[in-house]
């Protein structure tokens, strides 16, 4: 077992190795507060009923014991004069120019809201918001300064737990994010280096969890924000190899090329890639975290359209540049599996990502063309801008037939109708499985990035019936997100189809799993008996923020990365 010091050094080394290309903010795990910080963040709980004055009892955790009495007295004197009451997210900055108390020249006091939050998830989310607001206030001081704008000289910030070290670390990491790798130094944002004001192994563990999960979401944000000419399908796979190189003992990556895609008869996927000169790729990532390498895996599928022009059914030019983020499902998928590997989550997982551009050209698929998917179903391509469901159809079928997971979660920026239905507050989840929904819903609440259940109902299938094929890829304006979901469901094999399949022996030898016949425990789930629990998660509405919102700033959001990580961590064993 690693000592705390070894764990801290390992974490720092791992973070440096894993984010060579995407380094949105600096983080540090340390066992105790360092007095050379440029700023300190402390939390103050809101006044209880019947109490008229803020005092030491309102301070969060370690601030009470670490801060000298003289500092605490000065803090309460200044914040009382500024009408500060501890309202959640409210920030006051206190300055000590010569740092005479050897604490920090800047102290950010942030409100934590009520003492009496009834749920752990509420406490953690309050900590996220408080930490994020405090970091933003500190960064704003240095935006016009030339100091602290490089990774070699960041703002060093120590942070109290704010009632939850995980929440404080996540909020600070998310708020510290910048995407300015391609800007000159003069136009870059201040960089932040954060450390916890804590001193025991439990606190450090919670802090590291928050760092990992915040970094994973920032990774997804960076991938989604990267211009499409700098993140083609080939370049995405190169980034994946670099990202997982520190975890070669628990992960395995395969990058499949055009010939492999053709050999596997992925005609729906190929129909989308035909218009682009960039070759498609099919990325396969296996993570072995369980003690039993044959334990039934969780499967995740992410949509990887690295740029979506709409194809022949071309999109309007306004905001088309946003379609560099149409690989948001792929970004969330790869970031989730990275976090699982980094945190050594005790589950097995297989992730597949079909990667392509959707472009118009003389060789592009035309509206009205007919293609055959991997499962043999014919599809009329009524609209080439409904391309995501075509590449996902083959990816879903492949991972289901090959690995027979107990659960299959698919993530995609699929429909504008999802944005109209739910906006940016909730992410829509389409599933027939109450068990899977329960796990995802609880994970979303805990992560502060919530889901809303949507109908996956056969009643919508009539809208995607075709006169010339088994299916067509759009079902009209009515219920657009629901018809897209039921289309994808057509490519999830039923238990009966899995029982009837004729297995390619070479594939079976490579992907054999140990399945028990009469158990409902997901660890030994028999997909041939129980089927596969499937959820389609449409992230189109939460893909992008037009302005800062809570602890997520303007731009690509990377949502719902942390919710999927929480699902993998905490609800796997609970799906019984």
Helices (H) then strands (E): counts for the chain: 18, 20
Query: 388-403 vs 480-489: helix axis angle to the nearest 10?
Result: 30
CB 297 within 8 A of CB 351: no
Question: Kind and range of the H or E element at 458?
Answer: none
Q: How much is the CA Rg of the chain, to the nearest whole Å?
A: 25
Q: Cα–Cα distance between 553 and 120 in angstroms, integer?
A: 24
The rounded distance, in Å, linking the Cα atoms of 329 and 345 is 21
The helix (run of H) or strand (run of E) holding residue 158 is: strand 155-159
Cis peptide before 233 (omega within 30 of 0): no
Residue 144 to residue 538: CA distance in whole angstroms? 39
> What whole-number distance in Å separates Cα of residue 31 and Cα of residue 514?
42
User: 509, 401 in Cβ contact below 8 A?
Assistant: no
CA angle, 430 then 432 then 437, to 5°? 70
DSSP state of 89: T
The token pair at 154 is 């960041």
* Alpha-carbon span 446 to 566, nearest angstrom: 8
Q: Map tokens 């055009």 to a residue.
A: 258
Secondary structure class of 132 (helix, strand, coil): helix
Going edge to edge, which strands form the sheet with 378-381?
Answer: 369-372, 378-381, 471-472
Q: Which residues are catalytic?
A: 315, 389
Query: CA angle at residue 428 from 426 to 432, to 5 degrees?
Result: 140
Extract long-range pairs of 115-118: CB within 8 Å, 24+ residues apart: 115/45, 115/46, 115/48
């Amino acid at each position: 077992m690693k000592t705390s010091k070894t764990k801290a050094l390992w974490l720092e080394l791992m973070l440096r190795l894993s984010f060579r290309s995407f380094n949105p903010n600096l983080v540090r795990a340390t066992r105790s507060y360092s007095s050379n910080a440029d700023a300190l963040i402390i939390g103050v709980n809101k006044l209880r009923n019947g109490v008229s004055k803020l005092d030491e009892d309102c301070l969060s955790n370690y601030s009470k014991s670490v801060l000298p009495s003289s500092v605490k007295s000065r803090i309460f004197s200044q914040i009382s004069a500024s009408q500060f009451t501890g309202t959640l997210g409210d920030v006051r900055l206190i300055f000590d120019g010569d740092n005479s108390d050897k604490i920090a020249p800047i102290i950010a006091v942030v409100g934590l809201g009520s003492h009496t939050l009834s749920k752990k998830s509420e406490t953690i989310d309050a900590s996220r918001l408080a930490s994020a607001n405090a970091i933003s206030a500190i960064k704003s001081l240095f935006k016009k300064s030339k100091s602290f704008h490089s990774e070699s000289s960041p703002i060093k910030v120590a942070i109290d737990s704010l009632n939850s070290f995980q929440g404080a670390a996540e909020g600070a990491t998310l708020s510290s994010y910048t995407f300015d790798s391609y800007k000159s130094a003069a136009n870059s944002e201040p960089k932040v280096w954060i450390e916890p004001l804590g001193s025991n192994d439990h606190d450090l563990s919670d802090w590291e969890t928050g760092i990992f999960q915040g970094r994973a979401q920032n990774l997804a944000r960076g991938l989604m924000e990267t211009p499409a000419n700098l993140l083609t399908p080939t370049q995405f796979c190169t980034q994946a190899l670099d990202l997982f190189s520190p975890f070669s003992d628990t992960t395995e990556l395969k990058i499949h090329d055009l010939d492999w895609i053709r050999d596997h008869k992925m005609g729906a996927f190929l129909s989308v890639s035909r218009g682009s000169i960039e070759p498609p790729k099919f990325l396969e990532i296996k993570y072995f975290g369980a003690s039993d390498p044959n334990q039934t895996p969780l499967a995740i599928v992410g949509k990887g359209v690295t740029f979506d022009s709409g194809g022949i059914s071309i999109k309007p030019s306004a905001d088309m540049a946003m379609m560099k983020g149409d690989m948001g499902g792929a970004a969330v998928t790869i970031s989730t599996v990275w976090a699982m590997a980094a945190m050594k989550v005790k589950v097995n997982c297989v992730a597949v990502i079909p990667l392509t551009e959707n472009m118009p050209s003389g060789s592009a698929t035309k509206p009205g063309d007919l293609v055959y998917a991997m499962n043999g179903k014919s599809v009329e391509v009524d609209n080439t801008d409904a391309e995501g469901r075509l590449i996902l159809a083959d990816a879903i079928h492949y991972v289901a037939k090959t690995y027979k997971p107990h659960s299959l979660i698919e993530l995609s920026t699929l429909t504008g109708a999802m944005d109209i239905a739910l906006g940016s507050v909730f992410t829509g989840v389409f599933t027939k499985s109450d068990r899977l929904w329960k796990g995802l819903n609880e994970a979303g609440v805990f992560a502060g990035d919530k889901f809303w259940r949507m109908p996956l109902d056969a009643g919508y299938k009539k809208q995607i019936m075709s006169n010339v094929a088994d299916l067509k890829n759009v079902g009209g304006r009515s219920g657009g997100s629901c018809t897209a979901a039921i289309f994808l469901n057509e490519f999830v094999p039923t238990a009966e189809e899995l029982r009837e399949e004729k297995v390619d022996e070479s594939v079976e030898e490579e992907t054999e799993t140990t399945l028990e016949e009469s158990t409902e425990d997901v660890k030994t789930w028999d997909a041939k008996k129980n089927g596969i629990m499937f959820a389609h998660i449409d992230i189109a509405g939460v893909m992008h923020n037009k302005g800062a919102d809570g602890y997520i700033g303007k731009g690509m959001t990377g949502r719902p990365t942390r919710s999927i990580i929480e699902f993998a961590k905490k609800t796997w064993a609970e799906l019984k």
